[in-house]
Amino acid sequence: MEMNAPIGPTPLDDRPNGLVGQPLDRVDGALKVTGRATYAYEYEGAGATAYGYILEAPIGKGRITALDVRAAERAPGVLLVMTYKNAPRLAAKSDKTVPELQDDVIGFYGQAVALVVADSFELARAAAYLIKAQYARESAPYELKTQLSSTVTPKGSHGPADTRIGDFEAAFAAAPVKVDSVYTTPNQIHAMMEPHATMAEWQGDTLVLHTSNQMLNQGQGVIGATFNMAPDKVRMISRYIGGGFGNKLQVYPDAILSAMAAKMLNRRVKVALTRQQLFHLTSHRSETYQRVRIGTDASGKILAVGHEAYSGNLPNQSFYEGAATQTRTLYAGANRMTAHKLAVLYLPKAASMRAPGEAVGLLALECAMDELAEKLQLDPIELRIRNEPTETPETHIPYSSRNLVPCMKAGAERFGWSRRNPKPGQVRDGRWLVGIGMAAATRSNPLLESHAKVTLNPDGTLVAHMAMTDIGTGTYTIMTQIAAELMGLPMDKVSVLMGDTDFPKASGSGGSFGANSAGSALYDACMNLRAKLALSVQLDPSDAHFADGQMTGGGQSRTLASLAGPQGIEADGVIHPGEMGKAYSQESYGAHFAEVGVDMDTCEIRLRRMFGVFTAGRILNHKTARSQLIGGMTFGVGAALMEDAVVDPRFGVFVNHDLAEYHVPVDADIVQLDAMFLPEIDDKTSPLKAKGIGEVGICGAGAAVANAVYNACGVRVRDYPLTLDKLLAGVQPT
């Protein structure tokens, strides 16, 4: 099916006691807590497995001038030492390929220099450090602040990099009230629980990879192109994934090098990245430099809004952090300008990290709105309400649904916003200065092509197949709920099989599109199966009702088992984006509220409580959806207060490349945090009438914390993260 028109009534509507939407436990929960869910590195096969360890480059840019691998080759248990000198030849590097060990050029710190394969991981690791390598180091830029004058306008996937509506410069210059602020955000690392890992083996001319990857069909194409083979000769399997946050959207050296070694040895090879290695061998979120300018009239009506965002990446990489994209749709204003600039930096690859664009863009925009509200002596929520648009400000297309204002009002009431003192530094609790802040949340809602197949077995059970992935978000559970509800079956009669490119092509997990896209394909497959079953007994499909394992209608009542017959019956489904994504601006919305304490003497910051209210169309499972939101909000707290991948400007290395020194929030940092949804159904997004939720929780969360910090102590920090040293200089001594 194709989303070319709003969806009318569906079997998921008007079912208050239906399975879809219920806060059901995860169907894979017992497997995970008992250790029976198999992750990439845990797969085993017949015969012996060899283990690889990657040796990384200790320079940021240059060349290998000498490699002595003789000691490594003689080490116990070593089967292969692979370098650019003996590695199989792969396709040239391009946007569609990711070759490894093809020449002596080093492009970033941590780049793979060699793969040592041995009978055990420990033997491979020990041998890798016997390799004697020499390098000719070249100077290169590693910090964005040094390259702001040497940037280009990028070409990327966010639509146009730059937009202009009206005359921003003139309107801003003439505005009676204005804010002109620069915000900076640091490099950030995904830090998911499961590091990247792959087990590779060749079955004839087919490459089989048990790997940790969020988008299997995309990866299948990349690996096929890299190895100069047809994509259908690559099979990728990712049944369970221990988190991704965007870091597993792409193919990384564990997959490529294990496949190369397996080919050379004619043997199964496993490669896992250590926690320290994934900081350099995979991707990160680029640091940003953002200038936000907003001008209003005396009442707070926006006359001009401009947002310029700078980020960095390796040479010939097109990805940039689209930090100004949400500024195009969030608030009204006739005169507008957004711009993105990309600098060349010789750091590891910059790529998508949870909520690319909005996550860091709202750290700037929503704090600028807070600054503006203070200048206007206006409540921050009231300022936003006064600038609520009736259509997309730049394109003038309508919103499919937009309930940002109800989110702000509901959140304000439940959080106690009316008790906020607008004057900073006035509320104390013992030694703590206490402040409250808020921020709006928005995240785009894409719909991607996806496919599914369902089979009704002779015993009345249903099996669904799709090459979808579950990165811990609850996808297995949501898909089971959709299929069970549509077919009128209990949950334990439905099996959802995912994570294998042998199954129908699916969107994969990422970008807040996974559940809606894959779920819509499954919806279509189930509706097609319903039609097949009805027509098999000459019943109009629109008159057929499915419940309790039976199909009823037209005076008939038949069990699904009897309709399946001895061979069973199957149906396929597909979703295409269609015209709805072009005709309407589709986004999820929310409002964050945070209360913090700032120690009067040390300026230590503590989150005291946090609350978010969101709308995202039909919620498919309230328990897993809330989990996504509070996880995203926790992500936002980390971005505001602690996350910072620090670069040594001499060598291009992230010096804090482990979880001991790259700080992320832990349980003690998150005391009271909760989230809720307001009811919403959006018939323009998909047949499920749902929207994405995987990323909207992080969008704006950090800005709410930053605004609360300012309200607590009166110090506005525009350089994230908000560490105590940045507050000390501004807080008045007690």
Asked if 721 and 703 count as a contact pair (C-beta separation under 8 A), the reply is no
Q: Catalogue the long-range contacts made by 532-535 (C-beta closer than 8 Å, 24 or more residues apart).
A: 532/569, 532/571, 533/456, 533/560, 533/563, 533/569
- Best CA proximity match to 327, nearest among 341, 309, 312, 310: 309
3 state DSSP class of 700: coil
Structure tokens at 19: 């399975």
In eight-state DSSP terms, residue 322 is -
In eight-state DSSP terms, residue 317 is -
**Secondary structure tally for the chain: helices H, strands E:** 17, 30
Distance CA 500, CA 208 (A): 10
Q: What is the DSSP string of 90-135?
A: -PPPBTTB---S-SSEE-STT-EEEEEEESSHHHHHHHHTT-EEEE
Asked if 11 and 529 count as a contact pair (C-beta separation under 8 A), the reply is no
- Best CA proximity match to 512, nearest among 695, 703, 720: 695
3-state secondary structure string across 62-81:
EEEEEEECHHHHHCCCEEEE
Question: Exactly one of 100, 371, 485, 695 is catalytic; which is it?
Answer: 695
Distance CA 54, CA 253 (A): 9
Distance CA 51, CA 267 (A): 10
Distance CA 124, CA 116 (A): 5
291: left (phi over 0), alpha (psi -120 to 50) or beta: beta
Distance CA 194, CA 25 (A): 22
The question of whether 643 is a catalytic residue gets the answer no
In eight-state DSSP terms, residue 576 is B
- Best CA proximity match to 472, nearest among 124, 240, 283: 240
Cα four-point dihedral sign 628, 632, 633, 638:
positive
3-state secondary structure string across 492-513:
HHEEEECCECCCCCCCCCCCCC
Name the H helices within 3-49.
29-33
Q: What angle do CA 588, 592, 595 make, to 5 degrees?
A: 170
φ/ψ of residue 285, rounded to 5? -90, 125
Any idea which residues carry the catalytic annotation? Answer: 695
